[in-house]
Structure 1
Amino acid sequence: MISFWMGPPPALRAPLPGSLSADVAIVGAGFTGLWTAYYLSVADPTLRVVVLEQSYAGFGASGRNGGWCSALLPTSLPALARRHGRPAALSLQRSMNETVDEVGRVCAVEGIACDFHKGGTVVVARSPAQVARAAAEVDSMASFGFPEVSLLTAAEASARLGATSVLGGVYTPHCAAIQPASLVRGLASVVAARGVAVYEGTPVTSLRPGVAVTPHGTVRAPVVVRATEGYTAGLPGFGRAVAPIYSLMVATPPLPPSAWDEIGLADRETFSDFRHLIIYGQRTADGRLAFGGRGAPYHFGSSVSPSFDQEPTVFTALRRTLGELFPVLGPMPEVSHAWGGPLGVTRDWTASVGLDRSTGLAWAGGYVGDGVGTSNLAGRTLAHLILGVDSDLVRLPWVGHRSRRWEPEPLRWLGINAALQATASADAAEARTGRSSRRAALINRLVGH
């Protein structure tokens, strides 16, 4: 069982039956690969689209994440404006806001039952330093023309999320809570019904222009899409392109109505707070708290292993944090499930999508944990790029962006883990002093925020 969402591993679809040719070969049957296949099949049902997946659809982050279909990007809006100009940054953020509704639209049209509910996100501030960050975020969003991102008083924030020590917060309507494994598995079924060939149990061992090589045969296609996110480093030649950083989660058993009376989340808002070491949660459709956070170490050489999905110290910290936020659950709340998995981080903390027309190699990723919504925008954009559609999507500023490579080991291991430790210590320092951490500000500058 890779996650509470996925449950027991599903039966595998048939693997690649042998070498074949296609119009588009997609490596990875997560959200990015499947959304790309979906929009290609909608636009041109005659296209021969092949999706190659090493395990089963949704095995990676798509089946393990926190279930936030949000408008979040890993790069802040001010940083995007500095790099690309204000109009380009606004276009990308507006496209992300619209993406949340687009996911809901497709789920409704295609009959994908994934508990989609657009209740927005509440991020509470629980210290004076966090209150200052909340106010700064709302001021920034207002300056870019997004007044719907609103500053909450302590009473308003507590009415949405009954956590301890709430001094204020921020609310955005641009997020839906979903059951992510149901979405990715439903999407796989939809594209298969549309004629897309989805081959599971088919690892790609080599990817180069026009060719995806597997143990079962070779797929040749004019366009080959890399949609491998946290597993990218396992491909030859891509070891320093994307670093896999682990995020871990726990889920409680279904909670009684009395507990929800205290916790809130009556509109199934997703929730977080303004600490630096990210936490995230949602109220599931069956009445559980699904809660996760960062803090697991980066593993040398960008290694990915099932053993890394379990980090007892992080699970203990998550349970303790839940108890601190919601005393009604007890100091160490009971959890029924605990899991984890890698997400993809580029060196400049920037997501991108693109197609190199000289080689036919396309890619999307680098979502830094905010990929549920972003992958839909990526899939629509890739479809337009591949089909040569001239649209606003192909002119968004993330299109064609190339992140520089990560440092070689051991520098990569030292740098990433040092940053994780510094982020955690910044939160500890703020809890002691009540003042904003200068080391956190330095880390934000280093990652381009």
Structure 2
Amino acid sequence: MTGYRGVSFWLDQLVASGRDDLTPRPPLDGDRSADVCIIGGGLTGLWTAWYLHQGDPSLQIVVVEREIAGFGASGRNGGWCSALFPRSAESIAQHDGREAALAMRAAMRDTVDEVGRAAAEADIDCDYVKGGTVLYARSEVQDRAARAEVASSSDWGDDMTYRDGRRGDATDTLGVAWTPDCARVQPAALVRGLAAALEARGVVIAEHTPAVSWAPGRVVTTRGTVSAGAVVVATEGYGASLEQTKRRILPLYSLMIATAPLPASAWERIGLEHGQTFSDYRHLLVYGQRTADDRLAFGGRGARYHWGSSITPGYDRVPRVFQHLRRSLVELFPVVADAPITHTWGGPLGVPRDWCASVTWDGSVGSAGGYVGDGLSTTNLAGRTLADLVRGVSTPLTALPWVGHRSPDWEPEPLRFLGANAGLVATDLADREERLTGRASLAARLMAPLTGDH
């Protein structure tokens, strides 16, 4: 597969099903004016445009995008519309107080449902099914972690449950934690459908229009300048390639594989229902879902950070990582050992220095991002919040603790390169340490302050 169809399984599926041929929209054709100019045609930018238009249909909104809507993480991710937030509730409470942490957790839970509601309102067919997340505990250490997470979840209003492992779970499962607060989504269908719904409502989406710089009142692109009273920067991991944000975000790669559709007999042995996503309690994160067409889409971390926050298409595909993902998937579900892998893909996600996503607004320029891979739902919350801030409306969303948060800049090279890749090695070592010792990893404990869990 070539062109945009080859970027991810999700985008390829849209073309194969006839839902979207991914033809780029026309670029900006010179200077123009607008009320709001949004940089980035991913879910953050498009949800912001959606809720701005809902709040005031008279607003003239222009979205500029370097490639096509959904080219970045929004069209490549694992399809988890979850209540996960990159900073733990305990950490938020420590920094901002218990009430702030409770409000943030409630907002994230509500967002899972809001994505489904808004997608239905926009008539977007994105395979949204709220089936929850199955979390396998596959060692004594993981089982203790699962029980502890479930026991503390009610402190923050979350409704997690625990049960013992049983036949049909992943290999070696001792116990299973489950949260209802996640929906399975076809992410490219969501972002591309949202773009089409916005365009039908008069929002201008200029693709193949790279932004070069921005300032209060204007966005300069290679195709012309947009003069706008409000500017929103929604570039996520790709912000690392822009001069004004290159130290604000670190692009960390996450890669995925997808199997061919599996027969009903395989699903009986795997035990996952439609709408369910899954993971386990290892430190080197893996994640997966049962797709609407009965594939396993499975991803994880493990690709290294590249010098100077470099982002190129070649980094999307790392054979060593794809092989690791296949081994891990077969380890979880041996029944798929002979299943063909039909798609491999990947891309960068955005990591702020303190692993805390944020929304900012200074009266003329706003931004949101730093989702650390938890962005499919969080982008919707960001879009609603930015829409309120841009329109000058004070709401419970604008009072959430991530609003106005500023993460420190990442260190210059070579410190950034050494630190990011040392963290990756330490995460892998943490899993090895737990397998060898049967105790919670000391390496993971030492890393916690760097990943928002302190």
CA distance in 2, matches of 1:240, 1:165: 42
What is the DSSP-based 3-state SS (H/G/I as helix, E as strand, rest coil) of the residue aligned with 2:9? Answer: coil
Structure 1 residue aligned with 2:242? 235
Match of 1:397 in 2: 401
Counterpart of 1:150 (choices 139, 161, 164) is 161
| Partner residue in 2 for 1:282 | 289
Choose 439-448 or 361-370, whichever is displaced more: 439-448
C-alpha deviations, 1:294-329, integer Å up to 9, x for none? 000001101100000010000000000011111111
| Aligned counterpart in structure 1 of residue 24 of structure 2, from 4, 9, 12 | 12
Would you say 1:292 and 2:292 are equivalent positions?
no
Moved more, 92-101 or 6-15: 6-15
Q: TM-score, normalized by length of structure 1?
A: 0.97
The residue matched to 1:58 in structure 2 has which SS?
coil
- Cα separation, 2, equivalents of 1:3 and 1:130: 31
1:116 to 107, 128, 146: 128
Paired with 2:132 and 2:443, the residues of 1 have a C-alpha distance of 30
After superposition, the C-alpha distances for 1:219-247 in whole angstroms (9 at most, x for unaligned) are: 11121101000100111121110000000
Gaps of 5+ in 1: none
Contact 1:319-1:333 within 8 A present in 2 as well? no
SS in 1 for 2:349: strand
Cα deviation for residue 333 of structure 1 reads 4.6
- Please, which of 323, 327, 351 is the counterpart of residue 345 of structure 1? 351
Give the counterpart of 2:189 among 182, 185, 188. 182
Deviation at 1:143? 2.2
**C-alpha separation in 1, matches of 2:451 and 2:298:** 25
Q: In 2, distance between residues paired with 1:349 and 1:233?
A: 15
Kindly provide the amino acid, as one letter, of the partner of residue 343 in structure 1: L
The answer to whether the Cα contact below 8 Å between 2:105 and 2:157 also exists between their aligned partners in 1 is no
Q: What amino acid is the match of 1:335?
A: I
Mapped pair 1:131 → 2:136: no
- After TM superposition, the structure 1 = structure 2 runs for residues 121-270 of structure 1, keeping only pairs within 5 Å, are 121-146=133-158, 148-155=159-166, 162-270=169-277
Partner of 2:416: 412
Maintained 8 Å contact 1:207/1:235? no
Deviation at 1:444, TM superposition (A): 1.3
The 1-side partners of 2:88 and 2:152 are apart by 10
Q: Which amino acid aligns with 2:281?
A: F
Letter of the structure 1 residue corresponding to residue 100 of structure 2 = A
Distance in 2 between the 1:89 and 1:28 partners?
A: 29
Task: Quote the Cα distance in structure 2 between the aligned partners of 1:36 and 1:68.
Answer: 20
Write the letter of the residue equivalent to 2:249.
Answer: V
SS of the residue corresponding to residue 11 of structure 2 reads coil
- Runs of 4+ that moved beyond 6 A: none
Unaligned runs of 5+ in 2: 1-5, 16-20
RMSD over aligned CA atoms reads 1.1
Q: Match for 1:83: what amino acid? A: H
CA distance in 2, matches of 1:83, 1:59: 35
Give the Cα separation in 1 of the matches to 2:246 and 2:358. Answer: 17
- Distance in 2 separating the partners of 1:135 and 1:441: 18
Structure 2 residue aligned with 1:45: 57
Between the aligned partners of 1:135 and 1:183, the Cα distance in structure 2 is 34
Cα distance, 1:37 vs. partner?
0.3
Name the amino acid aligned to 1:33: G
8 Å CA contact 1:323–1:333 kept in 2: the answer is no
State the percentage of identical aligned residues.
56
Q: 1:22-64 deviations in whole A, cap 9, x for unaligned?
A: 1110000000000000000111111011000000000000000
Distance in 1, matches of 2:243 and 2:34, equals: 22
Q: Determine if contact 2:86/2:452 at 8 Å carries over to the other structure.
A: no
Verify the 8 A CA contact 1:49 1:197 in the aligned structure 2.
Answer: yes
Distance 1:446 1:115 in 2: 35
- Give the length in aligned residue pairs: 441
Name 2:18's counterpart in structure 1: none
* Alpha-carbon shift at residue 136 of structure 1 (Å): 1.5
What is the letter of the counterpart of residue 446 of structure 1? L
Q: Report the Cα offset of residue 5 of structure 1.
A: 0.1
Q: Is the 8 A contact 1:92 1:396 kept in 2?
A: yes
CA distance in 2, matches of 1:269, 1:48: 39
Tell me the equivalent position of 1:442: 446
CA shift for structure 1 position 434: 1.9
* Partner secondary structure for residue 336 of structure 1: strand
Kept in 1, the 8 Å contact 2:105–2:156? The answer is no
User: 1:286 offset after TM fit, Å?
Assistant: 0.2
1:335 counterpart residue number? 341
Q: Matches of 1:121 and 1:372 in 2, distance apart?
A: 15
TM-score, normalization by structure 2: 0.96
Match of 2:8 in 1: 3
Distance 1:257 1:263 in 2: 10
- Which of 372, 375, 378 does residue 374 from structure 1 map onto? 378
Which amino acid in structure 1 is aligned with residue 304 of structure 2? Answer: P
Query: Does 2:391 correspond to 1:387?
Result: yes
Moved more, 204-213 or 381-390: 204-213
Please, which of 355, 365, 368 is the counterpart of residue 364 of structure 1? 368
- The corresponding residue for 2:103 is 91
Q: Does 1:428 align with 2:424?
A: no
Q: Which amino acid aligns with 2:320?
A: T
Q: Distance in 1 between matches of 2:371 and 2:157?
A: 24
Equivalence for 2:3:
none
3-state SS of 2:360 partner = strand
| Counterpart residue identity of residue 111, structure 1 | D
Confirm whether residue 58 of structure 1 aligns to residue 60 of structure 2: no
Report the Cα distance in structure 2 between the residues aligned to 1:191 and 1:446, rounded to whole angstroms.
38
